[in-house]
Structure formats: C-alpha cells, structure tokens
C-alpha cells in the first residue's frame, strides 16, 4: 500500500515538473504567434499589443503559469490562437484518432511479439532465430522515419492502397463502408508501427526468456518430468515476465507520443500533425496542452507498469532481502 | 608511528563496530549491529581464524579490516598505522599491503578473462607496463603451483580449486603483507582444500604473510591457525590459541561449534567401524 | 515401514538399477572432446544407499544426468546400458523418459537456493511435480503437498505452502526440493551433493531426513558427494570415482577399514588428518600430489597414475581391469592382479 502511495505521489510531482518545464521552454524558444503579423506592415503595433493582451501573452511567466494551473484544474486547458477554439476539445478529437491507431498497433505488436520471442528463445541458434536476429538488428538501427517513408514509397509505387487524407468521419456513410475505409487507411501506419516495435520487443522477450531458460530451476523442472511446453509457459514465462512488463509500460506510455511522425507521413489525422503545426506556429497553449497529454500517458503508463510489476514479482511485494 | 617490532602485533583491532541499516521504510529504518566491540590481534607471520555460525558477523569484520567498508567505531592498527578512518587517497597507499580472497572463485574472477588478465588486474591499476606485468604474472603463477604456459588460457578452463589458486596469485602480485580469506575453502572438496591450505602455509613461510581466515568450518581451520576467535551475534565470545580452544572451550558457542564438528568425526569413526 | 508403491512387489532380481559399461563424451565447441565417463558399471539394489564418492570434476554429476537422460546437447552416450525395470533407459524415447523422471527416479540437485522458481510459491512448485504425473484433484493435491511438507520437517505446512523461496532459509529450501523429489514416491532417489552448500547443523538434519526416507519407505538412494562424513553416515556401499572411472566399490565398513585403491587410501588419510580432535597445531595436510585429473588429455593407462604413490611402469600404458579380490568388493588397480 505504501508503495502505491509513493508511486502515485511521484507521478503527480513528475507531471507538475513537466508542466513547469514546458512553460519555461516555450518561453525560451524564440518567436511568438504574432511574429508573422508583425512583419505585415498593414497591421499596427497596437493591434498586435491588443491581441497579445487578449490572449494573456503580455503577462509575466509566473502569472501565466498560475492561471494555467488553475484552469487546468477545471479541465480547461486554454485557448488555441490558430484555431480560435478551446484547446481541450481540439486535442481530444485528434487524440481519439491517434489512440485508435496506437492501441491497435500495440495490441497486434504484443500478440505477435510475446509468443514469437518465447518461441525463438526455445529455438536458439537455429536458422530462423539467426535470421531474425539479423533482420531485427537492421530494423532497430534504422530510424523509424526512414522505414515509414520507405514503406510509403513502396505502397505508392505499386498502388497497393488507396491513400486519402482528411477527417475520418464523414456524414451519411454506412457503417460498413466506414469501417472498410478506416481499415484501409490504418493499414499502412499500423504496419509500420508493428514492424518497428516488434523488432525491439521480440528481442527483449527473447533475451529475458533465454536468461531464465539457463537457470537451475528450469533444469530442475525438466528433471522432475514436467513436459517442455508447460515448463516454458507456466515456469519460465512468469519468471521472465519482469522485463517484459517494464516494456509493456513503455508501450502504454507511448500510446500518445509514439506515432506522431508516422501520422504526419501517412496523413493520419491524429495528434501528430496537430502538434507539429502548433509548434511551428508557436500556438502556445495548444503546444503545452499537447505535451501535457502526452506526458499524462507516459506517466500513467509507467505507473501501470509499476503496479503490474508489483503484482507479478513476489520479491518486490514482500520486500525481499536475502534470507540467508 | 611506531614501526612493527618483533613482539608487536602486525594487525591489531580495537573496539571495532559496524552497524547496517536493514530494510524498513523511511522513518522505520532499523539499525542492525553486525559487529560490536571487536578486539583481536595477529602477530606477523601468524594465522588467526575467525569462526562462527552464519550471520555472526565474521564477514563484516573481514570487510572492515580490508576497508571495503568503513567501520563506525574502533581502530585497526596495521603495521603500526591506524587505517580505520583513513580517507580514500591515503588508503590507496595502504591497499596493496592487504588482499582478500573470497569464497567463490567462480564469481570473484571474471570468467571471460585469460588467466594472465585476471592475475594482472591489480598491476594494471597500479599502472605497470605490459612486460612488467607479464613477468610478475609468470612469477606468481609458479608460486601457486600452476604452469606459466597456462597464462593465456581462459579462466573458464580452470577448475574451481585452480581458480582459487589464480585468485591467490592475483593477490600476491601486490606483495601484500596481510591476506584475508573469507570462506575461501567452502564448496571445495577435501583434497582441493588440502592443496590450497598447504599452498597457503608454504606461502606464509616464504613471505612472512599474516592471515585472517574466516570460516564456519572448524575442522580445516583448526589445523592451519595459530589462534582462534569465536564470534556469535556480532561479538567475539572467546579467543585463544588453537590448542587452548580445542582442548578447553569455555563459552557455549565454542562448545557448540566444537561438538558438532566432533560429532561429525565420531560418526565417521563409528560408522566406519560398525557393521554395515 | 510403509513400503512405497508397487516397486517392491514384483521383481525378478534384487537389482533395481544396473549400469553396464556406460561411456559419455562431451564434444566441446572448440573441437576438443572430453571423455567424462568411461566404462561405468554399477548396481543399485532395492532399498540400499549407494554412495558415489569423488572429487569435483570426476564425472559424478554427469552420471546422475545420464541416468535420467538430462545430458546437454553436446554430450554423447556411447555404448553401455542403464537397465531399470528390464528397460534400457538409454534407448527410451523422450516422452517415456519424462514419465520416469520425478515419478520413479527422482533427482535432487546441488544448489537448493537456485533450484526453486523465485516467482512461484513453494506449494505450487511441489504441486507441479504431482500434476505432471498423478491424476489428482485440486484438493487431493493440496492435501498431498501438506503431507509432504510435514514429512520433510516443516511444523506449519499450511503456512509454508504459500511462501516464496526467497522467504526461506537455505536449509528450508533444500527440504522443499526434497519434497518435490519424493512427491510421487519414487523407487530411486539421486542426491547430487545434497549437503555441500550447507553448514554443520543443517547438514545433519538433511542427512537424517534422507536416511529416514530409506527407513520408512524403502527408497533406494544414490548419493553423490565428495563428503566422506556424509558417506559414513548414509551409505551402505560406496563406489569411488576418479576421472570418469570407478576405481573401487565395497561396503562402507570395508572401505573405511581397509581401502584398497591408492586413491581411496589417500582420501581417507586426508579425512583422518583433518579432524578437530588432533591437537590443534599448524601442520601440512597429506596432499595428493599433482593436479586433479580433468581436461582433455587422458592417457590410455590408469588415470590416477600421475598422482599415485604406488605407480608401476605398466600403469602408464594399460588401464587396470576391474577385479574382485574379495567377495562384494571390486577394485581397478594393478596391485591386485589375478
């Protein structure tokens, strides 16, 4: 219980810290939203000053931060200058799309990677395992962006998929067409996500399982006549779970932030393009809102991972020191 | 600082105490006393055995004497100089004179090293160049009765007993004056133990080495120690010459240790003679 | 005495487990091969305790693993038979061997601390062995686990069931491993260095436990160790191994009173001289000269020859055959020719 309380407290402190840093960095970054307007000789300095004070940009940093925290407590994350609309609904609308993509990707990744990792560890050294090692090293070392662009190029070249951009929900379309449309649009980004993430996760799962396979208690289980499959899944996996759980936490944490670049490249209307645009145009509260949402998922994901570790590993639960 | 005279003890420990923080949360950290008011001395070229059940604090004393840990209180006079509270820099000058051999040679030597690399490690730290290191390595490996031709073999190719000898060779490279052996014989079979014990006795005679032997096993130790100190729950409860301790034990703990060792032996004698 | 299972019922011979001429070679990745076992012949009779005495590296663990078919991939058994209940274990398929492991022949391995799964309760781990072999319901299984824990000396079996290995001491963990091994009432128990990682008082407890098993259930035990006191306490007969070969076999009494092979004599001499009861004076131990034989370069003759105080010229080139100078004794040494 204590452990829980401490972790929760840490999470909250972390979020607060991130928000402060956000403000600091955006303050330090050169330029503001109105820079372009300023260049325009038709707009007078007074108009700009008015606009600035309207959006509260002329207030000192601390005041701005204080105000932001107060409204954040009321779930009001400020106003987007570019869209002239409150930040929260804007973010949330896009976040739903992102989550659709990443959650699907994550589900598929783990469904594939866990068994694959275990299977490869059990067949260590054989052809398939070695082939996988080489392939995954390759994938891991190439930047995600490059892979995404490469796959995109292939898809375009051979016209494998119809590509469209724009909002996902249209009016008056039947459910079936809607789902179909969604699926085709999701195919490319999800494939890229799964491809890139699996390479990493399978390697870790495999390494962790391999380590456990060499331990005396696994040999002992075999020596008592327990069949291979059961030893693998009932004895080895739980013991090898800890690193996998940490990774799962990272996956969760990356639900919002992990796919930003891919969305931009594939034209998926998620948070990615929005935040990119907002950052480039210095749309202050939208940027901060976006970062905080991402941070929320990060911290939340890690928290869940910590809790899962607590549940899975009895040594942490009972505060184990060496009993001898 | 007085230099070590012939009748001055080479190692003298006075009032050594060390506590550890055991588990617990922030405000409930419990202090566990691992070693309390330890007093003993060892003459130059002699061997003291520190015995006791597991958890009695022997290893803590060993770690304090070699300054792997800093004691909370007390003095450790090594050849006339108190090293108990020396700073790291001053300690660096004293360190070559004290070496420790650990229990499990399998884990205290990097299996990926070659024998030469393992032995030369302390010399590398001292900054000696490679030909100097090699010649010293060749010298010490012969002292531990292993062939210099094996210097380039991987440590993995050596058996448990041989690795323990490599650990001794490694310790000898810095020309130490005090050797602390922490359960160095546990887990080895009797003939290997005998080999290593004999090796240590020979080395002691050749280099006037002083030994502090830590063990929970009374049998081997009483045959190679001049004096014995018995520990229980962090304190020394009895100490004296080996002969004295074996013939006339006074404290409960000593009697207990002796009786279980003797019981094992009488079983050996009795069973061997009894009808099958 | 409650005799376990059907093992006692029908047997044509007294020999439960017979090993004839077993040889095992390890093929190292660097091309060398190590002949770990050579011409091993042994018999384990029903209800007896046979001790295998030898230094580390002599092949004792290889023998234990070979019996249960647990040798690693790079090991090959060449020639030889291991006959158990009229079947040659070396010829059995993996599924058949699995049925025997833990059920009729069970093994206790060396490191109790590491032989238990850290993330499973000890009760579950014992239950897993039961589940692999016996068709028990959940409650029957639980009952059996409690009985086993009680049998191996735990006062509060119900509490111990739900405890994790790291919450137990070394001696307690060893008992759990023993509980796992006897869960299905095996006819043969192979104990590989059961006490070498334990100190004094624990050692006697485990020894008592093991001898109790033999007395109560008639289990035959193959004890593998370098510890003479363990042999003195437990074994009915002792087989001495050196460098992959059996050099002497005899009853406990005979071995201690009149060891025949020079190696056995040296071991005994060593054990005698390490006694505490000898007045505590610093002295050298009677050491067997030379390095303990391991590694690849095995000469054709007697493997103990380089270290033997009684070596003769023929010992280098020729391997001494096994002879029986007395009934129920055998030794492989040229000193005892026909």
Subunit partners of chain A (3 or more CB pairs within 8 A): B, C
Nearest to B61 by CA among B211, B227, B180, B219: B180
- Tell me how many domains chain A contains: 2
- Report chain A residues whose CB lies below 8 A from the CB of B54: 324
Cβ neighbours of residue A173 closer than 8 Å, sequence gap 6 or more:
A181
Q: What confidence category does residue A37 fall into, taking pLDDT thresholds of 50, 70 and 90? A: low
Return the minimum-mean-pLDDT range out of A52-61, A182-191, B27-36, C103-112.
Answer: B27-36
The answer, for C74 touching chain A at a CB cutoff of 8 Å, is no
- Inspect the interface and report whether the beta carbons of B189 and C253 lie closer than 8 Å: no
Which of A40, A67, A86 terminates a domain? The answer is A86
Average pLDDT, chain A: 81
Give phi and psi for B227, each to the nearest 5. Answer: -135, 155
Which pLDDT score is estimated for B271? 60
Across the range C35-61, mean pLDDT stands at: 87
Closest CA in chain C for residue B259: C276
Residue B29 lies in a domain: no
Q: Is the pLDDT of residue A312 over 80?
A: no
Task: Kindly state whether residues A116 and A76 are assigned to the same domain.
Answer: no
Nearest to C66 by CA among C92, C89, C87: C89
Task: Kindly state whether residues A58 and A160 are assigned to the same domain.
Answer: no
Task: Kindly state whether residues C317 and C202 are assigned to the same domain.
Answer: yes
- Report chain A residues whose CB lies below 8 A from the CB of C177: 220
Average pLDDT, chain C: 83
Which pLDDT score is estimated for C294? 60
Residue B10 lies in a domain: no
C-alpha–C-alpha distance, residues C229 and B272, integer Å: 10
Which of C168, C183, C198 terminates a domain? The answer is C183
Closest CA in chain B for residue C225: B189
Residue B30 lies in a domain: no
Q: What is the pLDDT of residues A130-148, one digit of tens each?
A: 888 898 888 888 888 888 8
Task: Kindly state whether residues A251 and A212 are assigned to the same domain.
Answer: yes
Distance of CA A114 to the CA centre of its chain: 19
- Report chain C residues whose CB lies below 8 A from the CB of B272: 232, 252-253, 255-257
> Percent of chain C scored above 70 by pLDDT?
89
Residue B24 lies in a domain: no
Chain C: nearest CA to B201, how far in angstroms?
Answer: 7
Q: Is the pLDDT of residue C7 over 70?
A: no
Chain A: nearest CA to C79, how far in angstroms?
Answer: 23
According to DSSP, residue B249 is labeled -
Task: Kindly state whether residues C212 and C296 are assigned to the same domain.
Answer: yes
B227 close to B38: Cβ distance less than 8 angstroms: no
- Report chain C residues whose CB lies below 8 A from the CB of B223: 273-274, 278, 280-283, 285
Residue of C201, C237, C253 with shortest CB distance to B260: C201
Average pLDDT, chain B: 83
> Between these two residues, A68 and B73, which has the higher pLDDT value?
B73
Task: Kindly state whether residues A24 and A65 are assigned to the same domain.
Answer: yes
- Tell me how many domains chain C contains: 2
Closest CA in chain C for residue A235: C117
Chain C: nearest CA to A91, how far in angstroms?
Answer: 42
Q: What is the CA radius of gyration of chain A?
A: 24
C-alpha–C-alpha distance, residues C79 and C189, integer Å: 24
- Inspect the interface and report whether the beta carbons of A2 and B23 lie closer than 8 Å: no
Task: Kindly state whether residues C295 and C173 are assigned to the same domain.
Answer: no
Segments forming the whole domain that contains residue A36: 2-86
Q: What confidence category does residue B275 fall into, taking pLDDT thresholds of 50, 70 and 90? A: very low
- Inspect the interface and report whether the beta carbons of A223 and C70 lie closer than 8 Å: yes
Q: What confidence category does residue A220 fall into, taking pLDDT thresholds of 50, 70 and 90? A: very high
Task: Kindly state whether residues A135 and A81 are assigned to the same domain.
Answer: no
- Inspect the interface and report whether the beta carbons of B23 and A321 lie closer than 8 Å: yes
Task: Kindly state whether residues C124 and C232 are assigned to the same domain.
Answer: no
Task: Kindly state whether residues A11 and A74 are assigned to the same domain.
Answer: yes
Q: Is the pLDDT of residue C333 over 90?
A: no
Residue B216 lies in a domain: yes
Task: Kindly state whether residues A81 and A100 are assigned to the same domain.
Answer: no
Segments forming the whole domain that contains residue C203: 5-104+187-275+284-336
Task: Kindly state whether residues A55 and A104 are assigned to the same domain.
Answer: no
Residue A323 lies in a domain: no
Which of A86, A113, A143 terminates a domain? The answer is A86
- Report chain B residues whose CB lies below 8 A from the CB of C273: 223
- Inspect the interface and report whether the beta carbons of C101 and A312 lie closer than 8 Å: no
Task: Kindly state whether residues C130 and C233 are assigned to the same domain.
Answer: no
| Ranges of H-type helices in B51-159 | 58-65, 88-94, 105-108, 115-126, 130-143
Q: Is the pLDDT of residue C12 over 90?
A: no
Chain B: nearest CA to C36, how far in angstroms?
Answer: 14
Task: Kindly state whether residues C83 and C200 are assigned to the same domain.
Answer: yes
Q: What is the pLDDT of residues A259-272, one digit of tens each?
A: 888 888 888 888 88
Task: Kindly state whether residues C164 and C50 are assigned to the same domain.
Answer: no
Q: Is the pLDDT of residue C90 over 50?
A: yes
ipTM of the shown complex: 0.85
- Inspect the interface and report whether the beta carbons of A315 and C166 lie closer than 8 Å: yes
Task: Kindly state whether residues A60 and A128 are assigned to the same domain.
Answer: no
Which pLDDT score is estimated for C148? 93
Residue A185 lies in a domain: yes
Task: Kindly state whether residues C300 and C219 are assigned to the same domain.
Answer: yes
- Inspect the interface and report whether the beta carbons of B54 and A321 lie closer than 8 Å: no
CATH number where C237 lies: 3.40.50.300
Residue of B23, B25, B54 with shortest CB distance to A324: B54
- Tell me how many domains chain B contains: 1
Q: What confidence category does residue C293 fall into, taking pLDDT thresholds of 50, 70 and 90? A: low
Task: Kindly state whether residues C237 and C331 are assigned to the same domain.
Answer: yes
C-alpha–C-alpha distance, residues A106 and A102, integer Å: 6
Which pLDDT score is estimated for B6? 47
Which pLDDT score is estimated for B23? 53
- Inspect the interface and report whether the beta carbons of A319 and B23 lie closer than 8 Å: yes
Q: Is the pLDDT of residue B178 over 90?
A: yes
> Between these two residues, B30 and B80, which has the higher pLDDT value?
B80
Chain C: nearest CA to A223, how far in angstroms?
Answer: 6
Which pLDDT score is estimated for C5? 46
Q: Is the pLDDT of residue A224 over 80?
A: yes
Residue of C200, C251, C282 with shortest CB distance to B226: C282
Q: Is the pLDDT of residue C140 over 80?
A: yes
The answer, for B21 touching chain A at a CB cutoff of 8 Å, is no
Which of C183, C200, C222 terminates a domain? The answer is C183
Chain A: nearest CA to B24, how far in angstroms?
Answer: 9
Which pLDDT score is estimated for B31? 63
Chain A: nearest CA to B240, how far in angstroms?
Answer: 29
- Inspect the interface and report whether the beta carbons of B25 and A2 lie closer than 8 Å: yes
- Report chain B residues whose CB lies below 8 A from the CB of C56: 159-161, 188-189, 192
- Inspect the interface and report whether the beta carbons of A314 and C100 lie closer than 8 Å: no
Q: What is the pLDDT of residues B206-246, one digit of tens each?
A: 999 999 999 887 877 888 889 999 998 888 999 998 888 88
The answer, for C273 touching chain A at a CB cutoff of 8 Å, is no
- Report chain C residues whose CB lies below 8 A from the CB of B241: 280
- Global pTM? 0.78
Task: Kindly state whether residues A71 and A190 are assigned to the same domain.
Answer: no
Q: State how beta strands B47-51 and B30-42 pair.
A: unpaired
Residue B28 lies in a domain: no
Q: Residue C293, by phi and psi: left (phi above 0), alpha (psi -120 to 50) or beta? A: beta
C-alpha–C-alpha distance, residues B218 and A233, integer Å: 45
> Between these two residues, A38 and C314, which has the higher pLDDT value?
C314
Segments forming the whole domain that contains residue B203: 46-70+86-270
Task: Kindly state whether residues A74 and A107 are assigned to the same domain.
Answer: no
Residue A238 lies in a domain: yes
- Inspect the interface and report whether the beta carbons of A321 and B22 lie closer than 8 Å: yes
Which of C158, C183, C208 terminates a domain? The answer is C183
Task: Kindly state whether residues A252 and A294 are assigned to the same domain.
Answer: yes
Q: What is the pLDDT of residues A151-190, one digit of tens each?
A: 888 888 887 776 665 555 666 667 777 777 788 888 888 8
Q: What confidence category does residue C10 fall into, taking pLDDT thresholds of 50, 70 and 90? A: very low
- Report chain A residues whose CB lies below 8 A from the CB of C117: 217, 221, 235, 238-239
Q: Indicate which of A213, A217, A218 best probes the interface with C, i.e. most C CBs within 10 Å of its own CB.
A: A217
Q: What is the pLDDT of residues B156-175, one digit of tens each?
A: 878 778 888 999 999 999 99
Q: Indicate which of C230, C252, C264, C274 best probes the interface with B, i.e. most B CBs within 10 Å of its own CB.
A: C274
Residues of A with CB under 8 A from a CB of C: 215-217, 219-227, 230, 234-235, 238-239, 241, 312-315, 318, 320, 322-324
C236 close to C244: Cβ distance less than 8 angstroms: no
Q: State how beta strands B98-101 and B178-182 pair.
A: parallel
Task: Kindly state whether residues C240 and C198 are assigned to the same domain.
Answer: yes
The answer, for B23 touching chain A at a CB cutoff of 8 Å, is yes
Q: Is the pLDDT of residue A71 over 90?
A: no
How far lies A269's CA from each of A83, A265, A285, C84, in Å?
Answer: 16, 11, 20, 71
Which pLDDT score is estimated for B124? 87
CATH number where B54 lies: 3.40.50.300
Q: Residue A160, by phi and psi: left (phi above 0), alpha (psi -120 to 50) or beta? A: alpha
How far lies B25's CA from each of A95, B22, C307, in Å?
Answer: 40, 10, 59
Closest CA in chain B for residue C236: B276
Q: What confidence category does residue B276 fall into, taking pLDDT thresholds of 50, 70 and 90? A: very low
Which pLDDT score is estimated for C310? 83
Q: Is the pLDDT of residue A66 over 70?
A: yes
């Amino acid at each position: 219980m204590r452990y829980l309380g401490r972790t929760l407290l840490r999470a909250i402190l972390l979020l607060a810290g991130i928000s402060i840093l956000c403000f600091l960095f955006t303050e330090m970054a050169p330029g503001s939203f109105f820079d372009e307007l300023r260049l325009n000789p038709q707009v007078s300095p007074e108009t700009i000053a008015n606009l600035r004070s309207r959006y509260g940009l002329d207030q000192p940093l601390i005041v701005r931060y204080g105000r932001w925290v107060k409204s954040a407590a009321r779930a009001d994350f400020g106003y987007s200058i570019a869209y002239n609309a409150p930040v929260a609904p804007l973010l949330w609308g896009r976040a739903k799309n992102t989550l659709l993509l990443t959650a699907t990707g994550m589900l598929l990744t783990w469904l594939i990677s866990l068994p694959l990792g275990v299977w490869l560890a059990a067949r260590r050294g054989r052809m398939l395992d070695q082939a996988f090692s080489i392939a995954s090293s390759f994938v891991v070392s190439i930047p995600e962006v490059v892979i995404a662009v490469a796959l995109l190029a292939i898809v375009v070249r051979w016209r494998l998929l119809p590509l469209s951009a724009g909002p996902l929900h249209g009016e008056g379309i039947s459910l079936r067409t809607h789902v179909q449309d969604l699926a085709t649009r999701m195919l490319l980004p999800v494939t890229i996500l799964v491809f890139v993430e699996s390479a990493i996760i399978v390697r870790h799962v495999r390494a962790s399982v391999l380590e456990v396979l060499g331990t005396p208690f696994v040999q002992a289980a075999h020596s008592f006549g327990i069949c291979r499959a059961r030893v693998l899944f009932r004895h080895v996996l739980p013991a090898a779970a800890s690193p996998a759980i940490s990774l799962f936490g990272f996956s969760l944490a990356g639900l919002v932030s992990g796919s930003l670049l891919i969305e931009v490249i594939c034209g998926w209307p998620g948070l990615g393009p929005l935040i990119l645009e907002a950052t480039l145009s210095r749309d202050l509260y939208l940027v901060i809102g976006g970062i905080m949402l991402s941070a929320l998922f990060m911290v939340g994901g890690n928290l869940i991972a910590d809790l899962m570790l607590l549940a899975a590993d009895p040594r942490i639960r009972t505060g184990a020191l060496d009993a001898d | 600082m007085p230099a070590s005279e012939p009748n001055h003890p080479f190692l003298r420990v006075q009032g050594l105490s060390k506590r550890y923080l055991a588990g617990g949360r922030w405000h409930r950290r419990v202090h566990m006393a691992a070693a309390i008011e330890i007093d003993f001395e060892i003459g130059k070229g002699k061997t003291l055995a520190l015995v006791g059940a597991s958890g009695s604090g022997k290893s803590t004393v060993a770690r304090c004497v070699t300054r792997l840990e800093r004691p909370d209180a007390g003095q450790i006079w090594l050849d006339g100089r108190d090293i108990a509270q020396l700073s790291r820099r001053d300690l660096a000058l004293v360190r070559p004179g004290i070496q420790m051999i650990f229990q499990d040679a399998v884990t205290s030597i990097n299996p990926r090293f070659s024998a030469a690399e393992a032995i030369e490690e302390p010399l590398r730290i001292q900054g000696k160049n490679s030909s100097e290191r090699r010649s010293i390595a060749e010298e010490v490996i012969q002292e531990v009765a292993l062939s210099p031709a094996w210097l380039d073999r991987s440590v993995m190719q050596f058996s448990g007993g041989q690795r323990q000898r490599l650990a001794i060779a490694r310790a000898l490279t810095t020309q130490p004056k005090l050797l602390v052996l922490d359960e160095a014989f546990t887990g080895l079979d009797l003939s290997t133990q005998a080999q290593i014990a004999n090796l240590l006795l020979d080395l002691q005679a050749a280099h006037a080495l002083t030994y502090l032997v830590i063990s929970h096993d009374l049998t081997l130790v009483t045959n190679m120690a001049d004096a014995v100190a018995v520990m229980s729950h962090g304190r020394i409860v009895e100490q004296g010459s080996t002969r004295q301790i074996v013939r006339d034990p006074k404290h409960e703990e000593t009697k207990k240790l002796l009786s279980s060792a003797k019981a094992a032996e009488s079983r050996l004698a009795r069973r061997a003679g009894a009808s099958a | 005495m409650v005799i376990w299972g059907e093992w006692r019922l029908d047997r044509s011979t007294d020999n439960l487990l017979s090993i004839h001429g077993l040889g095992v070679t390890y093929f190292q990745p660097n091309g060398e091969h190590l002949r770990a076992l050579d011409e091993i012949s042994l018999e384990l009779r029903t209800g007896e305790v046979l001790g295998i005495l030898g230094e580390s590296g002599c092949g004792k663990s290889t023998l234990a693993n070979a019996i249960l078919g647990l040798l690693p991939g790079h090991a090959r058994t060449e020639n030889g038979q291991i006959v158990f209940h009229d079947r040659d274990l070396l010829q059995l398929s993996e599924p058949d061997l699995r049925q025997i492991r833990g059920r009729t022949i069970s093994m206790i391995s060396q490191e109790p601390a590491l032989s238990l799964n850290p993330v499973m309760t000890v009760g579950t781990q014992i239950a897993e062995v039961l589940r692999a072999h016996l068709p028990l319901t959940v409650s029957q299984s639980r009952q059996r686990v409690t009985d086993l824990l009680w049998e191996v000396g735990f006062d509060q079996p119900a509490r111990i069931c739900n405890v994790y290995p790291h919450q137990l001491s070394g001696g307690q963990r060893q008992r759990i491993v023993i509980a796992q091994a006897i869960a299905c009432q095996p006819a043969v128990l192979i104990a590989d260095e059961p006490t070498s990682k334990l100190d004094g008082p624990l050692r006697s407890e485990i020894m008592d436990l093991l001898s109790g098993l033999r007395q109560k259930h008639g289990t035959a035990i193959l004890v593998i160790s370098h510890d003479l006191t363990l042999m003195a306490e437990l074994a009915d007969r002792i087989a001495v191994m050196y460098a992959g070969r059996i050099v002497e076999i005899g009853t406990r009494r005979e071995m201690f009173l009149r060891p025949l092979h020079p190696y056995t004599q040296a071991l005994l001499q060593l054990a005698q001289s390490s006694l505490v009861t000898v007045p505590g004076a610093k002295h050298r131990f009677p050491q067997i000269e030379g390095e303990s034989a391991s590694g690849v370069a095995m000469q054709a003759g007697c493997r103990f020859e380089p270290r033997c105080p009684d070596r003769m010229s023929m010992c280098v080139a020729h391997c001494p055959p096994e002879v029986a100078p007395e009934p129920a004794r055998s030794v492989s040494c040229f000193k005892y020719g026909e």
